[in-house]
């Protein structure tokens, strides 16, 4: 915005000169065939000079910084005789003064402040005058910030020959603009180059913004740094820099940059500017259904509902509806009605009827109903529902009826001893109250106690003799749990250890996993034919390891004299239980490389990570790959046994004198159920972040696939000779790096095939990671073809540099290239980087794959 233009005023400004009548003078001249007015001074031959030219008072307005553009000529002092007597100058000075009022002709030099000394770029010499080739100079200066209502400019001549052809005073502003569907008003530029004026914009019609749009106006009148944006409302789409309504038959559901979409199936044509299309009659849309999905309807009734009865139990079966209504969330609900044929009375089934699953929201196509009454007709109604059934008055049901004539006897829930004499016992028991009407008699059976058989010796036969009579109508068989114990061979000088005798049912005791075989062999020992049971036992195990304990029928207060009194185990901490559970798990493992109890084996070279650091650079690639193959084989065995290790790391791999690696430390191991999608969820405890898969960190769900991720980290540890994964990054930084897609770079001299296998193990989606069986197969092929290990992996330095940091260093945690190379154990490449021009971290980050 121009505040003053001397050239356009055509000499009508009437500027003040001092001293009056001398010095500066207003003249007419011809330039480029045009008549112009100029202010000129040229008193170079009159000694010392101080001539002032002051403008009129100029109203500032909204300007904060003004720009002064000068067009002038300066004559060469050498073109004057005797060079102007020694007082000739080729420069002049520019001043300004602020004021709130016009002082008229009152000129006070002390009020003015110097802006600059103006020197020409080109000087007009004598020959230029002869050829009428005047050298024109243009200079621009700025002043600010200005605070008074107006200001003056003044020009000081100290003995130069100067002609002012043009003086133009203006300020800058950012123009009004429409950007990002937001209008920004005209704005005066900032005070200086470092200041940006923030300007709020206004969204166009039918547009909104979560964050108010803004632009920044700089000192040069340019718009910079946009913030926020405007988006078209639902029902409107962006066309150019405006929002237009969606045409009929289309819709737009959200505030976004997306365009309008045609209405989906089973909807009615929408009006203009629609955010959704209405559903056809009989079709509905659930609250969670996106507007872009077709409208759906309730399902048809279930098909083939059948009821098969067996005593007081009924198996209900049905098939899915022929029409699910266009949805995949069909569920089933079951209601029951019971009718008595004698009276014809019917009512809903009472709470005593039990279902194998909750009869509401079933996703399967079958259920078992129990505890039904005899001589009653039952009608079962199966209703199919989906997400829009609530909005329809029609029910999709199918029914079936079954008559229950006979039911099985009720279940006795508990038996207690109320009294006893030398020849009798007084017993009582409980039956659910609602089932007592179905009982017409009770039958009580008993068995007699026999002496325990113990102290069996190897290769010595032992007979079992019953001491009571055996009328076939009285004595029932006796259940004899067989506990098999492992007896170690001891030197003659020592006595065999005493093994505990257990009265518990045949199972693996968690407190004594080394005493009991995990699979005891129970059999029915008949008092009249005991040899049958012994023969059955000998078919499975050696007689030297048999300990027979008869099942006592005495109440808890009557104990066998040959058995020690029961001992309550002492309270145990959660950590102790974890240790015992780990020991019990190891007891189940039996792998061909003996011994199978690896906790007892002495591994001469100790932990793998420490061993590799001590032997750095001493092994060939084939030896390292052989170690990896041994670890993978062990993990393949664990995976096939449905075990997840959860703490696979080089520190938990032991190495013997033949460089054979074996998996150890099962402190975090857990068994998985026999299911391809089985997971183990932990409720707490520490997790080794650097070795753990991202889904296990985030959701604490462990699978064999999470062990595969950990195996990839172990591969990296082996190929880098025990280097710490992710170096000095904190656990938080490691998690952030993994979630942003970063992976460890290839170690030095790592074969490309090995690094590719690492990257497969580190797939974000666990289903895409290889199985341990696949890993063993791949490593076997690489070992049989050593030439495949000669190609080395490309080293990308940007991977390790760009690992994110929470230290505020913008993701570049290294200050110099040598520091970074030292951190990744590659200082030998420092000279190569420097010689190639990569002297700073920023230049390394700009490297490409080529």
- The residues that are catalytic are 647
The residues with which 71 forms a beta bridge, in sequence order, are 138, 166
Exposure of 87 by Cβ count < 10 A (0-12 exposed, 13-18 middle, 19+ buried)? middle
> Under 8 Å CB-to-CB from 109, ≥6 apart: which residues?
52
Q: Count Cα atoms within 13 angstroms, Cβ side, for 521.
A: 16
Exposure of 156 by Cβ count < 10 A (0-12 exposed, 13-18 middle, 19+ buried)? buried
> Under 8 Å CB-to-CB from 239, ≥6 apart: which residues?
none
> Under 8 Å CB-to-CB from 39, ≥6 apart: which residues?
15, 24, 25, 26, 27, 53, 155, 163, 164
Return contacts of 256-263, CB within 8 angstroms, 24+ apart: 256/231, 256/232, 257/231, 257/232, 261/292
Contact 325, 375 (CB under 8 A): no
| Rounded Cα–Cα distance for residues 383 and 406 (Å) | 28
Whose CA is closest to 710, among 671, 748, 738? 738
The residues with which 137 forms a beta bridge, in sequence order, are 72
Whose CA is closest to 181, among 146, 107, 233? 233
Give yes or no for a cis peptide into 297 (omega within 30° of 0).
no
What is the DSSP secondary-structure string of 45-88?
TSSS--EEEEPPPEE-TT-SSEEEEEEEEEB-GGGSGGGGGGT-
Alpha-carbon Rg of the chain, whole angstroms?
49
CA distances from 180 to 115, 229, 273, 577 (A): 41, 6, 21, 64
Q: Where are the beta strands (DSSP E) in 515-564?
A: 523-525, 546-548
SS3 348: strand
SS3 content of the chain, % helix, strand, coil (to 5): 20, 25, 50
Whose CA is closest to 529, among 457, 463, 462? 463
Whose CA is closest to 718, among 804, 791, 623? 623
Contact 261, 250 (CB under 8 A): yes
Whose CA is closest to 388, among 462, 330, 313? 330
| Rounded Cα–Cα distance for residues 295 and 283 (Å) | 6
Q: Would you mind telling me the total number of residues written for the chain in this entry?
A: 850
| Rounded Cα–Cα distance for residues 748 and 794 (Å) | 10
Contact 401, 353 (CB under 8 A): no
| Rounded Cα–Cα distance for residues 590 and 586 (Å) | 9
User: Backbone phi, then psi, for 313, in 5-degree steps?
Assistant: -120, 140
- Segments in 516-651 forming alpha helices (H): 530-538, 574-586, 608-614, 621-640
| Rounded Cα–Cα distance for residues 204 and 177 (Å) | 12
Q: Where are the beta strands (DSSP E) in 357-459?
A: 366-370, 376-385, 396-404, 414-420, 425-430
DSSP state of 785: -
Longest alpha-carbon distance in the chain: 159
């Amino acid at each position: 915005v121009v505040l003053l233009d001397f050239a356009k005023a055509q000499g009508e400004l009437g500027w003040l000169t001092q001293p009056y009548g001398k010095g500066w003078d207003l003249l007419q001249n011809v330039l480029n065939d045009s008549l112009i007015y100029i202010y000129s001074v040229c008193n170079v031959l009159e000694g010392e000079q101080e001539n002032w030219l002051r403008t009129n008072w100029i109203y500032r307005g909204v300007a904060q910084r003004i720009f002064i553009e000068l067009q002038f000529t300066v004559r060469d002092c050498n073109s004057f005789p005797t060079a102007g007597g020694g007082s000739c100058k080729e420069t002049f000075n520019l001043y300004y003064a602020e004021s709130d009022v016009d002082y008229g002709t009152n000129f006070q030099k002390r009020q003015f402040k110097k802006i600059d000394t103006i020197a020409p770029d080109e000087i007009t010499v004598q020959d230029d005058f002869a050829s009428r080739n005047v050298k024109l100079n243009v200079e621009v200066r700025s002043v600010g910030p200005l605070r008074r209502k107006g200001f003056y400019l003044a020009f000081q001549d100290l003995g130069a020959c100067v002609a002012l052809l043009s003086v133009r005073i203006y300020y800058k502003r950012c123009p009004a603009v429409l950007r990002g569907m937001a209008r920004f008003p005209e704005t005066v530029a900032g005070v200086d180059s470092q200041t940006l004026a923030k300007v709020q914009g206004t969204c166009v019609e039918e547009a909104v913004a979560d964050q108010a749009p803004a632009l920044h106006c700089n000192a040069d009148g340019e718009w910079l740094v946009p913030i926020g944006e405007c988006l078209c409302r639902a029902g409107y789409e962006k066309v150019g820099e405006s929002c237009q309504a969606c045409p009929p038959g289309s819709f737009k559901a959200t505030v976004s940059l997306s365009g309008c979409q045609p209405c989906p199936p089973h909807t009615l044509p929408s009006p203009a500017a629609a955010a959704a299309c209405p559903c056809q009659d009989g079709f509905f849309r659930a609250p969670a259904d996106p507007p872009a999905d077709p409208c759906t309807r309730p399902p048809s009734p279930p098909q083939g509902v059948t009821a098969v009865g067996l005593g007081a139990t009924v198996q209900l079966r049905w098939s899915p509806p022929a029409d699910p209504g266009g949805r995949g969330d069909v569920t089933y609900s079951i209601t029951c009605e019971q009718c008595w044929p004698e009276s014809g009375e019917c009512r809903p089934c009472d709470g005593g009827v039990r279902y194998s699953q909750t009869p509401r929201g079933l996703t399967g196509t079958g259920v078992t109903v129990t505890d039904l009454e005899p001589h009653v007709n039952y009608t079962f109604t199966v209703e199919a529902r989906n997400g829009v059934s609530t909005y329809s008055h029609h029910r999709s049901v199918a029914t079936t009826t079954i008559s229950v004539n006979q039911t099985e006897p009720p279940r006795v829930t508990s038996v207690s001893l109320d009294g006893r004499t030398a020849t009798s016992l007084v017993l009582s028991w409980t039956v659910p109250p609602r089932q007592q009407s179905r009982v017409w008699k009770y039958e009580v059976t008993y068995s007699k106690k026999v002496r325990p058989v113990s102290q069996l010796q190897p290769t010595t036969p032992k007979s079992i003799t019953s001491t009571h009579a055996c009328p076939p109508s009285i004595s029932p068989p006796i259940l004899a749990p067989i506990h098999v114990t492992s007896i170690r061979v001891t030197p003659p000088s020592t006595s065999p250890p005493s093994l505990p005798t257990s009265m518990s049912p045949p199972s693996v005791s968690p407190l004594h996993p080394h005493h009991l075989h995990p699979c005891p062999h129970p059999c029915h020992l008949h008092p009249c034919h005991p040899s049958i049971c012994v023969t059955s036992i000998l078919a499975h195990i050696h007689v030297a390891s048999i300990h027979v304990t008869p099942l006592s029928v005495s109440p808890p207060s009557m104990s066998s004299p040959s058995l020690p009194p029961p001992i309550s185990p002492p309270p145990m901490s959660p950590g102790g239980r974890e240790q015992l559970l780990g020991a019990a798990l190891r007891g189940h493992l039996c792998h061909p490389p003996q011994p199978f109890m690896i906790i007892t084996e002495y591994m001469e070279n100790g932990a793998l990570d420490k061993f590799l650091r001590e032997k750095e650079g001493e092994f060939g690639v084939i030896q390292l790959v052989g170690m990896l193959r041994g670890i993978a084989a062990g993990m393949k065995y664990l995976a096939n046994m449905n075990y997840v290790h959860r703490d696979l790391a080089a520190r938990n791999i032991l190495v013997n004198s033949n460089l054979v690696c074996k998996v150890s430390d099962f402190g975090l191991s857990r068994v998985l159920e026999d299911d391809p999608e089985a997971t183990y969820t932990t409720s707490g405890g520490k997790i080794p972040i650097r070795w753990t898969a991202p889904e296990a960190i985030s959701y604490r769900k462990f699978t064999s696939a999470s062990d595969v991720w950990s195996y990839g980290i172990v591969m990296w540890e082996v190929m880098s000779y025990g280097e710490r994964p992710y170096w000095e990054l904190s656990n938080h930084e490691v998690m952030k790096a993994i979630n942003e897609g970063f992976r460890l770079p290839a170690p030095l001299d790592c074969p490309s095939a090995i690094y590719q296998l690492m990257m497969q193990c580190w797939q974000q989606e666990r289903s895409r990671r290889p199985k341990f069986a696949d890993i063993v197969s791949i490593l076997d092929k690489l070992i049989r073809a050593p030439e495949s290990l000669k190609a080395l992996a490309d080293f990308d330095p940007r991977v390790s540099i760009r690992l994110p940091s929470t230290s505020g260093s913008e993701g570049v945690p290294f200050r110099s290239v040598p520091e970074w190379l030292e951190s990744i154990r590659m200082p030998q490449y420092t000279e190569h980087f420097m010689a190639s021009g990569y002297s700073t971290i920023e230049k390394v980050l700009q490297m490409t794959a080529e």
